[in-house]
Structure 1
Amino acid sequence: MKDVLGQAIYDHHTKNSHGKLWIHNTYGPKEAMPIDAYFREEDDMPDLEWLALNECRGRVLDVGAGAGSHALQLQERGFEVKAIDISPLAVKVMQERGVKNADTQDIFTYGGEQFDTILLLMNGIGLAGDIKNLNKLLAIFKNMLAKGGQLLFDSSDIAYLYDGNLPADKYYGEITYQYEYKDQKTQWFNWLYIDEHKLTEVALSASFITEVLYEDEFKQYLVRLTTA
């Protein structure tokens, strides 16, 4: 897949951003994604992300770390953080911004280390793509957690997109997207949004206990998963 998102992040970092990052979807018109959202300082982060950073403990793995904003905040607080992203250009940006341990990795093939906290923000758990892969991803995370470790991530219930007409052939939170930037497009890719009830069910089947730490009026929520 073309590193379209990584290019947008890199251009913004190098002050060479003259294009919009568009997100195409299968449920409505394309939407512009503000690239500066990946470069937020702590004061610009929503309450959900503040809480997630405050709940981190021990050695932290930041998955899908983007431009490294969360990793940088954790470093400033004295945490040992490893930040990974599948985008080589995003990782380059993280390194140039001062993330001490940033690496280009695919979480589905990454392993060999253990962490006290695995962090996935900005709906990072969505990289599972669908419910089947979420089960696979949770199994991977289970092997990567140190004793007493935790997963911290956010997601949201997107049933409102369907006006009551939920799809019958799949879970309604399984969405397909495509990035576009400067006339370059990725292939279409799957992304997952999962409601609290479904998450609790899937997590339990993987022997995780779900604790909802925060929920807003838009049904976006932050959870902690720990092993049962």
Structure 2
Amino acid sequence: MDIYGNALLDFHQSGKADILWLHNSYDEPEEMPIEVFFRGEDDMPEIELKALSLCKGKVLDVGAGVGSHALLLDEKKIDVTAIDISPTAVQIMHERGVKNPQLQDFFQVKEMYDTLLFMMNGIGLTGTLQGFENFLGSAKQILNPKGQLVFDSSDISYLYDDMPMPTNQYFGEISYCYEYKKQKGNWFNWLYIDPTTLQRLSKQHGWNCKIVYVDEQDQYLARLTYP
């Protein structure tokens, strides 16, 4: 069941929705503000606007949600394909006027692109540090020469200020589960990667990594290129 998509659809159709809860593996459930997925350019934080300004050539917006970033790229006449694994999100993208939305899993992509864009910590879909390393290998296969990865993430070590760090896994590996209208979805793995670890793994796998922006909440924007 597309729990996340159901919440998005309610908000899309009526401008309001019940609470979308995000259960996690480290603390109490958190309320996920649905309106954030529908924001326009004026409501986007600087880190996202900076990311969009870096997009060039043929762009793949991965985990595009309801297409807010793709819509802005469309307006700028940038060739963007917006993909998501939620059928409902893709339906909403169509209805919102996104030019090229597709129901697709990133790991099944075969076409070539110049920019791979992952917004709102979309790089988290790699799930684990090992998943991220595997991703660095697969991304090379669908990037044109001089292509780039553009994504934001954050160092979440602060979560463990008052409790011990995990000893059996990287501290940025989290599990989540959506709940909406008393229905729960499946648990899934999500990754937050700190900048130091990112730069180490990028170099190890032959990528050039540049941190191009850091905001006041310790979220950062990274641009990776492959020689």
User: Matched residues in 1 for 2:68 and 2:180: separation?
Assistant: 21
Query: Which one-letter code corresponds to 1:120 in the other structure?
Result: F
Contact 1:63–1:118 (8 Å) recurs in 2 = yes
1:119 partnered with 2:125: no
User: Matched residues in 2 for 1:46 and 1:226: separation?
Assistant: 24
Can you list the C-alpha shifts for 1:21-63, whole angstroms capped at 9, x where unaligned? Answer: 1001111111111101000100000000010011111111000
Query: Which one-letter code corresponds to 2:134 in the other structure?
Result: K
Structure 2 SS opposite 1:108? helix
User: Matched residues in 1 for 2:50 and 2:130: separation?
Assistant: 29
Residue number in structure 2 paired with 1:57: 56
Can you list the C-alpha shifts for 1:90-149, whole angstroms capped at 9, x where unaligned? Answer: 0000011011111111112222x1111110000000001101111122222111111111
1:192 partnered with 2:191: yes
Matches within 5 A, 1:146-185: 146-163=144-161, 165-185=164-184
Contact 2:176–2:187 (8 Å) recurs in 1 = yes
User: Matched residues in 1 for 2:43 and 2:16: separation?
Assistant: 21
User: Matched residues in 1 for 2:205 and 2:85: separation?
Assistant: 25
Which runs of 5 or more structure 2 residues have no equivalent in the other structure? none
Task: Work out the number of aligned pairs and report it.
Answer: 226
User: Matched residues in 2 for 1:207 and 1:186: separation?
Assistant: 37
Structure 1 SS opposite 2:22? strand
Contact 1:22–1:30 (8 Å) recurs in 2 = yes
1:79 partnered with 2:78: yes
How big is the shift at 1:153?
A: 0.1
Runs of 4+ in 1 over 3 A off after TM superposition: none
Residue number in structure 2 paired with 1:135: 133
User: Matched residues in 1 for 2:115 and 2:204: separation?
Assistant: 21
Residue number in structure 2 paired with 1:222: 221
Query: Which one-letter code corresponds to 2:209 in the other structure?
Result: T
Matches within 5 A, 1:89-100: 89-100=88-99
How big is the shift at 1:17?
A: 4.2
Contact 2:85–2:105 (8 Å) recurs in 1 = yes
Q: TM-score, structure 2 length as denominator?
A: 0.96
Name the Cα RMSD after superposition: 1.2
Deviates more, 1:20-29 or 1:152-161: 20-29
Contact 1:63–1:107 (8 Å) recurs in 2 = yes
Query: Which one-letter code corresponds to 2:152 in the other structure?
Result: D
Which runs of 5 or more structure 1 residues have no equivalent in the other structure? none
User: Matched residues in 2 for 1:163 and 1:82: separation?
Assistant: 40
How big is the shift at 1:16?
A: 7.0
Q: TM-score, structure 1 length as denominator?
A: 0.96
Contact 2:7–2:17 (8 Å) recurs in 1 = no
Give me the identity figure in percent.
51
